[in-house]
């Protein structure tokens, strides 16, 4: 599926969602309790900021249809990640979601470019061992299509958690984009990624405890994901020792799935305000035994955040967080701020 078609699909879903949202306040309020819809993670699914939960989009119950639209911006030094997404929940049983992600990379501000540029020159990937590749901004974009199904349980009304399974298909649109002097090779392939697309599988369990931490309402979520994605897919999927710098630096090809754990916990200070934290493990495919500097900037690590979420009503939520995204292309440490606006219908 082309990137243009993905964007048309995303736009159509978002417009349809906004149309339903505007059909009336009674429908918009749904039947579930405030904040039990969660927010939207960066991949478009209902959940926390960086991990999907077992909950289904919207506030609706077994005989209703609901959903959400979202916009998210994450800023760390030399990077900006923007996500637009939409999700539709059907009868509190199934969820379909789409998202488009743009990672803007400020090449001019990255200190590691010289190290990797020299290495790339030595490998014959570029014409000179001292290239001038500090050429403004580079963008990596990715599209995500997700499906989630609730298996059993309810986050509030059963003694056991609500459990859902999900699948996400991801397509990196810049795997083969021209990267400053390297010809038809994008940043993901430069680091040795094997493929421009991949599919994640996950199971999530979410439970709300009415008398939780400090005797306040507390939400806990655990997600187990099977994935090949490097940096959520922004650095492609798997590794191929024949691509980019990978083989010459000792990286072995790895196109297998890795089981990674994710978690969230939130405490409600009052019915409309929650504070909490999250983590998300990622595969460590991109290891470069011959060059520790390359490993430090190419190998994704565990993502983390601490957040506050405000739900003024069932139609709107605002989430702010301090996030550690782990290594991103060319930069080992990436800590900054996350802001997300979520509309629910």
Q: What is the pLDDT of residue 95?
A: 98
- Backbone phi, then psi, for 188, in 5-degree steps? -60, -45
Q: What is the pLDDT of residue 288?
A: 58
Q: What is the pLDDT of residue 136?
A: 62
Domain 3-344 has CATH 1.20.120.1200: no
Q: What is the pLDDT of residue 114?
A: 52
Q: What is the pLDDT of residue 337?
A: 96
What is the SS3 assignment for 249?
A: helix
Q: What is the pLDDT of residue 129?
A: 40
What is the SS3 assignment for 124?
A: coil
Contacts of 124 (CB under 8 A, 6+ apart): none
Q: What is the pLDDT of residue 216?
A: 96
Q: What percent of the chain has pLDDT over 90?
A: 55
Domain spans, the chain: 3-344
Are residues 93 and 64 in contact, defined by beta-carbon separation less than 8 angstroms?
no
Spatial distance between the Cα atoms of 152 and 164, rounded to a whole number of angstroms: 7
pLDDT tens column, 114-137: 545 555 554 444 444 444 454 567
Are residues 212 and 182 in contact, defined by beta-carbon separation less than 8 angstroms?
no
Residues in the chain with pLDDT < 70?
A: 1-31, 107-136, 179-183, 287-300, 329-330
Q: What is the pLDDT of residue 7?
A: 52
Are residues 273 and 312 in contact, defined by beta-carbon separation less than 8 angstroms?
no
Q: What is the pLDDT of residue 105?
A: 82
């Amino acid at each position: 599926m082309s990137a243009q078609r993905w964007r048309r699909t995303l736009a159509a879903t978002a417009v349809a969602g906004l149309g339903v949202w505007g059909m009336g306040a009674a429908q918009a309020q749904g039947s579930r309790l405030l904040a039990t819809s969660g927010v939207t993670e960066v991949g478009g699914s209902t959940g926390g900021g960086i991990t999907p939960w077992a909950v289904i989009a919207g506030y609706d119950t077994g005989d209703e249809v609901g959903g959400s639209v979202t916009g998210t911006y994450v800023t760390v030094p030399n990077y900006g990640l923007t996500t637009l997404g939409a999700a539709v929940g059907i009868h509190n049983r199934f969820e379909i979601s789409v998202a488009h992600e743009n990672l803007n990379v400020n090449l001019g501000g990255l200190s590691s470019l010289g190290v990797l540029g020299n290495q790339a020159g030595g490998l014959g990937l570029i014409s000179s061992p001292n290239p001038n590749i500090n050429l403004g901004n580079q963008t990596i974009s990715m599209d995500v299509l997700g499906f989630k199904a609730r298996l059993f349980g309810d986050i509030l009304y059963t003694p056991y958690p609500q459990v859902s399974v999900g699948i996400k298909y991801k397509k990196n649109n810049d795997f083969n984009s021209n990267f400053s002097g390297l010809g038809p090779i994008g940043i993901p392939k430069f680091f040795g990624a094997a493929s421009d697309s991949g599919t994640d599988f996950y199971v999530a369990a979410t439970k709300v405890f009415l008398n939780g931490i400090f005797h306040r309402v507390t939400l806990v979520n655990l997600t187990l994901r099977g994935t090949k994605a490097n940096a959520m897919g922004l650095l492609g999927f798997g590794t191929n020792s024949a691509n980019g710098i990978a083989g010459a630096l000792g990286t072995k090809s790895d196109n297998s799935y890795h089981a990674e754990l994710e978690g969230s916990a939130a405490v409600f200070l009052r019915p409309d305000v929650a504070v909490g934290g999250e983590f998300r493990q990622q595969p460590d495919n991109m290891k470069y035994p011959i060059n520790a500097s390359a490993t430090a900037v190419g190998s994704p690590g565990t993502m983390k955040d601490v957040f506050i979420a405000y739900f003024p009503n069932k139609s709107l939520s605002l989430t702010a967080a301090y996030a550690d995204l782990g290594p991103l292309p060319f930069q080992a440490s990436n800590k900054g701020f996350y802001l997300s606006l979520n509309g629910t219908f």
